[in-house]
Amino acid sequence: MTGVLRPGYCQLRVLDLNESIRFYTDVMGLIETGRDASGRVYFKTADERDHHSVIIREADQAGMDFYAFKVLDKRTLDKLEVDLNEYGVATERMPADGLLETGERVRFVAPTKHVFELYWEMTEVGDGQGYINPGVRVDGPGGICPIRLDHWQIHGADLDGSRDLFINVLGFHLVERITGEDGATDMAVWLTCSTKAHDIAFVRDERDNTLHHASYLLESWEKVLHAADVMSAKGVSLDIGPLRHGITRGCTIYAFDPSGNRFETFSGGYAFYPDMKPYTWTHEEIGAAIFYHTRELNERFLTVVT
Amino acid sequence: MTGVLRPGYCQLRVLDLNESIRFYTDVMGLIETGRDASGRVYFKTADERDHHSVIIREADQAGMDFYAFKVLDKRTLDKLEVDLNEYGVATERMPADGLLETGERVRFVAPTKHVFELYWEMTEVGDGQGYINPGVRVDGPGGICPIRLDHWQIHGADLDGSRDLFINVLGFHLVERITGEDGATDMAVWLTCSTKAHDIAFVRDERDNTLHHASYLLESWEKVLHAADVMSAKGVSLDIGPLRHGITRGCTIYAFDPSGNRFETFSGGYAFYPDMKPYTWTHEEIGAAIFYHTRELNERFLTVVT
Amino acid sequence: MTGVLRPGYCQLRVLDLNESIRFYTDVMGLIETGRDASGRVYFKTADERDHHSVIIREADQAGMDFYAFKVLDKRTLDKLEVDLNEYGVATERMPADGLLETGERVRFVAPTKHVFELYWEMTEVGDGQGYINPGVRVDGPGGICPIRLDHWQIHGADLDGSRDLFINVLGFHLVERITGEDGATDMAVWLTCSTKAHDIAFVRDERDNTLHHASYLLESWEKVLHAADVMSAKGVSLDIGPLRHGITRGCTIYAFDPSGNRFETFSGGYAFYPDMKPYTWTHEEIGAAIFYHTRELNERFLTVVT
Amino acid sequence: MTGVLRPGYCQLRVLDLNESIRFYTDVMGLIETGRDASGRVYFKTADERDHHSVIIREADQAGMDFYAFKVLDKRTLDKLEVDLNEYGVATERMPADGLLETGERVRFVAPTKHVFELYWEMTEVGDGQGYINPGVRVDGPGGICPIRLDHWQIHGADLDGSRDLFINVLGFHLVERITGEDGATDMAVWLTCSTKAHDIAFVRDERDNTLHHASYLLESWEKVLHAADVMSAKGVSLDIGPLRHGITRGCTIYAFDPSGNRFETFSGGYAFYPDMKPYTWTHEEIGAAIFYHTRELNERFLTVVT
């Protein structure tokens, strides 16, 4: 409970900007909230209140530029910067005009080589309901229309380093882990900074600074079905699902955006409280851990990252 | 509208009777309603009113012995027997004491070599609610607990012959078809004798008299998820799913009973009326026809039959 | 199985045409398919294939002008006309140009004084998916967006007369009934011409030729919640629900259109087959019959008709 | 973020112990975990890990004896006790042997005269899945079978006092409020100590130390329907629902236990984060705030407390 609230935004590299704008609006059902001078396009979900949660920029190679967590306030931001520095992690202050409608950010590189940012200020553009006598949104913008950007799964060699940094400095909790054949090494860890079953997951993988997926939350298992129907109707390349994970118990689909960046649309998962012990999945049960129903892994799911 | 009501029961061959009894009660959630002198065990779903819908018998080889449709009344049974004979199909009258609580049956072999039966009388044992001020069942027997035996998909070489027999004599309607590379030959057909999207499906396959799956209806997509969870928790070998079919739009899981007989647990599907034209899926879209979300077939689904 | 397929269309009187057009498109999510010379407006659901299922016309008083059932073909239409006449019911042939895109209709007045029509021809405008490699609709027109016009509940004094006419001449089956204090008189009956739990319901009521509600089918209980949310967000006057009926087991909401015509949006209900006996609800259990959860009636539900 | 985790347990007064044991096991689907020397009976849900969340004791009058929040650890407990005392609230240390399997508790009386307890130690009896390769529970104990005790709504005159105490000392956040005719006075407040939309609600009411309802969380809207079906089938007195609240957006049913204590079984609701402003419902919109669909209050809901 250090004041890191949740995944706030991320900046994704896409191969064709216009195709990707169409994808993130028509298929994913996000709302475009701005474009900046460098050509980046900003999106939020219909239900999110802050100005953006997904930024895309055109590049030669897919993948994620950086991952940002919102923190409670300026005091928290300043303290976490000090804590990071004291832990031996270099930080960089990114000025407030670097991203649309976003305040100062503290940037650092985790041991898995991913670039992270912390920030506390972003313009609240609202969810269209206001704070006085709000209603329930009944007509979405179409497409998958998730509730929020929820978490990321990212890969890198020094899982232990990133795990320890997030736990020891940023105050995350270890919620679930998959251990290796030795029964001790963490091959993958799911961490939370809230009562969600996960706010971020790290997987041990020689390919540093890679993205396995960005994940979007849906309201229900019926909405997961709808997302799968949307994907099929709109020609999205589906990876796997609908299915349930053993890990987190979430119910999910994985698919690829037009640039090959994997994304997840899921619902469910239990609530985490810090009086809970971490769940451990042993090497033999990795199939059930990932794909609870078939209990068998899929090669593509394990190998494709961007 | 010839008076064939619905799939009524089927007799399945299982390799180990006790293991199968456990499977059909604990996992599938059927209710055992009797055992006969030859050792066969009879089951119904909690919601079915008639004495049985599934009969199992121990044998050296898995597969289905016969498939029975319930017809409206004795007059319908007699007329359909005459119609079958006039169409050139030999029939055999099976006496009323051949199966527990079941009246006289008319048996015939379809061109795909499957054995079918027609019957109109079966003891109604009820669904536990009665016909006076019935309630809604809230505590099932556990397990998957389907509403009813719903339909079968069966394979054989002379698909055209079985299709024509069911349409021309038994009054079924063609609801959906997959055509071959020539754009004309039916590779698979879905037929109904009611307003269900299908009461039976035939697939063209050199392996005559084979079973692809027996299908059980669930109440909702959430119950499909529950069925998948049950399968995982109880060690059932899952084939594929949860997913939606393009054909019928049903949402489904396929898995195997302990003898390797595939079964389906599904929900949904549109209502058929005879003013609707048949849907045709062309050869190139067979992936979407079968697995609507991934739009890709799975080898096991195509090749394993019993 | 006389060839009466299903409720096809109905003509509703509304007090303000423009307000009602807005209601049936924006709130109900129907699609306008035409306006005729007399000012009537025609609608269908997104999933219906025929040209229309709901017609509205402006009038000084709310209520339903007539109720039409689609029959299988011309032969069925002609035969049913003869059967009606032989039963003592006068019929009137309505010419094919009386309604947009609709063939000849046979009109008659039932003992409860409601005007019914039978027809077999209507232009098929399609559901947007076609019959070749159809997809699954993922983006509706907004609003409640039901699958189809499903059934009507209508009131009149001579329930017995209408019930017998529908059973004896039109081939409907009695599925459920509420009996009066004497344990014998039918106070309300639910009848089907298919395997639906009901295609029409008659309630004994001195107010002849009145409408209790027109009912629209939804895909799931989650869609019932969505319908309720739409009603609240768009200022619809809700009568009661969401709730389950004991009768049919359907899950439902009742509300009023801007003219005060009650409508229902529901999902679920069991499948009827003619080997089932009718369910009887006794006078003391009428609460559970109608509102299964609270088991208590609501005065407005019983008294308001148009 | 003061270390108050969640509602942990409460002690309910019931009029007939055996009838209530049957109710909380057969109908609610809780699991009895113990009885103590004073005759109290302890329950937990199937999914809860701690020894108990509901304690019942026989008494002449229904109502709640006390409400307990679990805190992170001993240090938090000690600090909160100091904080309470410094705020002017007297506390009492309850020894560890006062309740089965529960450590030391800090008891205090809030300005609305409700008795609260804080504790950090309770024996973990587990949810039956363990922490190594856990599965997903597929067969519940029957009945409603909620996930967890979720929150309470309680009434008293000095709402302002209890609200301020919970916010200023225990670190709760104000999430939603209903204001009075003056547009300023809080008539009801919803507070959270986590990211739930509410962990407790206070309503301004002259009847101090009264209970409006104890609330249990369900997995989905379909499980809310199941709960309503269970209530009807098992003769529970239903207050209102299923319906959605405007406040929290949760979907819910209210009913009464055999002693007249109201309870809620609900699902859904948004996630709260402290960068969100409180929602305010004005006096005119109290109908929509409470019962979002009908937008009309129900007298019994407003007046009955225990």
> A29 versus B300: which is more confidently predicted?
A29
- Per-residue model confidence (pLDDT) at position D141: 84
- Residues with Cβ within 8 Å of A231's Cβ and at least 6 positions away in sequence, in order, are A27, A144, A238, A253, A255, B293
What is the chain C residue with the closest CA to D223? C221
Phi, psi for C145 (deg, rounded to 5)? 55, 65
Decide if A124 is inside a domain.
Answer: no
- Mean pLDDT over A257-273 rounds to 97
Please write the tens of the pLDDT for every residue from D84-142. 999 999 999 999 989 999 999 999 999 999 999 999 999 999 999 999 999 999 987 89
Quote the tokens at residue D14: 């019931």
- Per-residue model confidence (pLDDT) at position B35: 98
- Per-residue model confidence (pLDDT) at position D193: 96
Tell if the CB–CB gap between A242 and B238 is shorter than 8 Å.
no
Q: Looking at the structure, do residues A108 and A153 belong to the same domain, yes or no?
A: no
Report the C-alpha gap between C257 and D106 in whole angstroms: 56
B181 and D CB contact within 8 Å: no
Q: Looking at the structure, do residues D154 and D298 belong to the same domain, yes or no?
A: yes
Residues forming a β-bridge with C12: C56, C64
Q: Best residue in B136, B137, B175, B283 to probe C by mutation, most C CBs within 10 Å?
A: B136
Q: What is the mean pLDDT of chain B?
A: 96
- Boundaries of domain holding B298: 148-303
Tell if the CB–CB gap between A5 and D275 is shorter than 8 Å.
yes
The torsion angle over the Cα atoms of residues C73, C74, C77 and C80, rounded to 10 degrees, is -100
ipTM given for this complex: 0.95
Output DSSP code: residue B60: S
Q: Return the ∠ at Cα C178 (arms to C172 and C180), rounded to 5°.
A: 125
Q: Looking at the structure, do residues A95 and A152 belong to the same domain, yes or no?
A: no
The angle, 0 to 180 degrees and rounded to 10, between the axes of the packed helices A221-233 and B221-233 is 100
Subunits close to A (at least 3 CB pairs below 8 A): B, C, D
Judge contact between D248 and D200, C-beta under 8 A.
no
Check whether C2 has a pLDDT greater than 90. no
User: Nearest to residue D227, comparing CAs of D200, D249, D246, D254?
Assistant: D254
| pLDDT bucket at B298, cuts 50 / 70 / 90 | confident
Report the C-alpha gap between B241 and B264 in whole angstroms: 10
Residue C35 CA from chain centroid, whole number: 22
| pLDDT bucket at A2, cuts 50 / 70 / 90 | confident
| pLDDT bucket at B232, cuts 50 / 70 / 90 | very high
What is the chain B residue with the closest CA to A228? B293
To the query of whether residue C264 is one of the catalytic residues in this protein, the response is yes
Tell if the CB–CB gap between B70 and C1 is shorter than 8 Å.
no
The 10 Å Cβ neighbour count of residue D280 is: 19
Please write the tens of the pLDDT for every residue from A142-184. 999 999 999 999 999 999 999 999 999 999 999 999 999 999 9
Quote the number of domains for chain B: 2
- Per-residue model confidence (pLDDT) at position C289: 95
The 10 Å Cβ neighbour count of residue C265 is: 28
> C221 versus A140: which is more confidently predicted?
C221
Please write the tens of the pLDDT for every residue from C259-302. 999 999 999 999 999 999 999 999 999 999 999 999 998 888 88
Decide if B176 is inside a domain.
Answer: yes
Provide the b/e sequence for A118-129 (b: ≥16 CB within 10 Å).
bbbbbeebebee
- Per-residue model confidence (pLDDT) at position C299: 83
Q: Looking at the structure, do residues B115 and B166 belong to the same domain, yes or no?
A: no
Chain C nearest C-alpha distance from D228 (Å): 6
Q: Which of C221, C228, C231 sits opposite D222 (nearest CB)?
A: C221
To the query of whether residue D213 is one of the catalytic residues in this protein, the response is yes
Judge contact between C179 and C283, C-beta under 8 A.
yes
Please write the tens of the pLDDT for every residue from A91-142. 999 999 899 999 999 999 999 999 999 999 999 999 999 999 999 999 878 9
User: Nearest to residue D7, comparing CAs of D104, D118, D113, D122?
Assistant: D118
Chain A nearest C-alpha distance from D116 (Å): 20
D301 and C CB contact within 8 Å: no
Tell if the CB–CB gap between C280 and B195 is shorter than 8 Å.
no
Calculate what percentage of chain B has a pLDDT beyond 90. 95
Report the C-alpha gap between B174 and C224 in whole angstroms: 32
- Mean pLDDT over A243-266 rounds to 97
- Per-residue model confidence (pLDDT) at position D233: 95
Check whether D255 has a pLDDT greater than 80. yes
Please write the tens of the pLDDT for every residue from B170-208. 999 999 999 999 999 999 999 999 999 999 999 999 999
Judge contact between B157 and B112, C-beta under 8 A.
yes
- β-strand pairing of B148-156 with B200-204: parallel
Q: Which positions 82-121 of A are in contact with D (Cβ < 8 Å)?
A: none
- Mean pLDDT over B215-238 rounds to 97
Q: Best residue in D138, D144, D238 to probe B by mutation, most B CBs within 10 Å?
A: D138
The domain boundary, picked from B98, B119, B140, lies at B119
Subunits close to D (at least 3 CB pairs below 8 A): A, B, C
Q: Looking at the structure, do residues A79 and A198 belong to the same domain, yes or no?
A: no
- Residues with Cβ within 8 Å of A14's Cβ and at least 6 positions away in sequence, in order, are A20, A56, A57, A58, A59, A62, A257, A258, A259, A261
To the query of whether residue C32 is one of the catalytic residues in this protein, the response is no
Report the C-alpha gap between B293 and B252 in whole angstroms: 12
Chain D CB contacts of A134 under 8 Å are 246, 279
Provide the b/e sequence for B109-144 (b: ≥16 CB within 10 Å).
ebbbbbbbbbbbbbeebebeeeeebbbbbbbbbebb
- Per-residue model confidence (pLDDT) at position A1: 64
B5 and C CB contact within 8 Å: yes
- Per-residue model confidence (pLDDT) at position B97: 87
Q: Looking at the structure, do residues C228 and C104 belong to the same domain, yes or no?
A: no
Chain C nearest C-alpha distance from A18 (Å): 22
Output DSSP code: residue B284: G
Tell if the CB–CB gap between A132 and D280 is shorter than 8 Å.
yes
Q: Which positions 223-252 of A are in contact with B (Cβ < 8 Å)?
A: 225, 228-229, 231-232, 238, 240-244, 251
Quote the tokens at residue B290: 């079968």
Phi, psi for C224 (deg, rounded to 5)? -65, -40
Report the C-alpha gap between D278 and D167 in whole angstroms: 13
D47 and B CB contact within 8 Å: no
Chain B nearest C-alpha distance from D281 (Å): 34
Overall residue count recorded for chain D in this entry: 306
B294 and A CB contact within 8 Å: yes
Three-class DSSP category at A4: strand
CATH code of residue A90 = 3.10.180.10
The domain boundary, picked from A119, A138, A172, lies at A119
| pLDDT bucket at C103, cuts 50 / 70 / 90 | very high
Judge contact between D186 and D178, C-beta under 8 A.
yes
- Per-residue model confidence (pLDDT) at position D140: 78
Which listed residue (B151, B155, B173, B212) is catalytic?
B151
Tell if the CB–CB gap between C138 and A222 is shorter than 8 Å.
no
Output DSSP code: residue A304: -
Please write the tens of the pLDDT for every residue from D207-233. 999 999 999 999 999 999 999 999 999
Tell if the CB–CB gap between B138 and D222 is shorter than 8 Å.
no
User: Nearest to residue A296, comparing CAs of A305, A304, A287?
Assistant: A287
Please write the tens of the pLDDT for every residue from A56-87. 999 999 999 999 999 999 999 999 999 999 99
The 10 Å Cβ neighbour count of residue C19 is: 14
Which listed residue (D48, D81, D176, D264) is catalytic?
D264
The angle, 0 to 180 degrees and rounded to 10, between the axes of the packed helices C221-233 and D221-233 is 100
Which listed residue (C24, C67, C216, C254) is catalytic?
C254
- Mean pLDDT over D161-177 rounds to 98
Please write the tens of the pLDDT for every residue from B65-98. 999 999 999 999 999 999 999 999 999 999 998 9
Q: Return the ∠ at Cα A112 (arms to A106 and A116), rounded to 5°.
A: 20
Judge contact between C212 and C203, C-beta under 8 A.
yes
- Per-residue model confidence (pLDDT) at position B60: 98
Decide if B153 is inside a domain.
Answer: yes
Q: Looking at the structure, do residues D95 and D239 belong to the same domain, yes or no?
A: no
| pLDDT bucket at B45, cuts 50 / 70 / 90 | very high
Phi, psi for D23 (deg, rounded to 5)? -60, -50
3-state SS of chain D? CCCEEEEEEEEEEECCHHHHHHHHHHHCCCEEEEECCCCCEEEECCCCCECCCEEEEECCCCEEEEEEEEECCHHHHHHHHHHHHHCCCCCEEECCCCCCCECCEEEEECCCCCEEEEECCECECCCCCCCECCCCCCCCCCCCCCCEEEEEEEEECCHHHHHHHHHHCCCCEEEEEEECCCCCCEEEEEEECCCCCCCEEEEECCCCCEEEEEEEECCCHHHHHHHHHHHHHCCCEEEEEEEECCCCCCEEEEEECCCCCEEEEEECCCCCCCCCCCEEECHHHHHHHHCCCCCCCCHHHHHCCC
B233, containing H or E segment: helix B221-233
Residues of A noted as catalytic: 151, 198, 213, 245, 254, 264
Report the C-alpha gap between D16 and D259 in whole angstroms: 7
Report the C-alpha gap between A143 and A127 in whole angstroms: 17
- Per-residue model confidence (pLDDT) at position D209: 98
Q: Looking at the structure, do residues C223 and C107 belong to the same domain, yes or no?
A: no
Chain D CB contacts of A196 under 8 Å are 195
In angstroms, what CA-CA distances link A63 with A105, A211, A262?
Answer: 21, 6, 9
Residues forming a β-bridge with D35: D41
Phi, psi for A86 (deg, rounded to 5)? -65, -30
| pLDDT bucket at B141, cuts 50 / 70 / 90 | confident
Report the C-alpha gap between A40 and A17 in whole angstroms: 9
Q: Looking at the structure, do residues D69 and D175 belong to the same domain, yes or no?
A: no
| pLDDT bucket at C139, cuts 50 / 70 / 90 | confident
Q: Looking at the structure, do residues A209 and A95 belong to the same domain, yes or no?
A: no
- Per-residue model confidence (pLDDT) at position B117: 98
Decide if C134 is inside a domain.
Answer: no
Decide if A142 is inside a domain.
Answer: no
Q: Looking at the structure, do residues B158 and B211 belong to the same domain, yes or no?
A: yes
- Per-residue model confidence (pLDDT) at position B302: 86
Report the C-alpha gap between B194 and B201 in whole angstroms: 14
Report the C-alpha gap between A71 and A63 in whole angstroms: 24
Please write the tens of the pLDDT for every residue from C168-216. 999 999 999 999 999 999 999 999 999 999 999 999 999 999 999 999 9
Chain A CB contacts of B221 under 8 Å are 221-222, 225
The domain boundary, picked from C119, C139, C158, lies at C119
Decide if B128 is inside a domain.
Answer: no
Quote the tokens at residue B240: 């594929």
Decide if D127 is inside a domain.
Answer: no
Which listed residue (D52, D114, D151, D212) is catalytic?
D151
Decide if D219 is inside a domain.
Answer: yes
- Per-residue model confidence (pLDDT) at position D10: 98
To the query of whether residue D285 is one of the catalytic residues in this protein, the response is no
Chain C nearest C-alpha distance from B128 (Å): 13
DSSP for A8-60 reads EEEEEEES-HHHHHHIIIIIT--EEEEE-TTS-EEEE-SS--BS-SEEEEE-S
Q: Which of A136, A222, A233 sits opposite C136 (nearest CB)?
A: A233
| pLDDT bucket at B34, cuts 50 / 70 / 90 | very high
Judge contact between A234 and A226, C-beta under 8 A.
no
- Per-residue model confidence (pLDDT) at position B235: 95
Judge contact between D46 and D94, C-beta under 8 A.
no
Report the C-alpha gap between A171 and A173 in whole angstroms: 7
Q: Looking at the structure, do residues D163 and D239 belong to the same domain, yes or no?
A: yes
Which listed residue (C9, C24, C213, C216) is catalytic?
C213
Tell if the CB–CB gap between D136 and B222 is shorter than 8 Å.
no
Judge contact between A141 and A213, C-beta under 8 A.
no
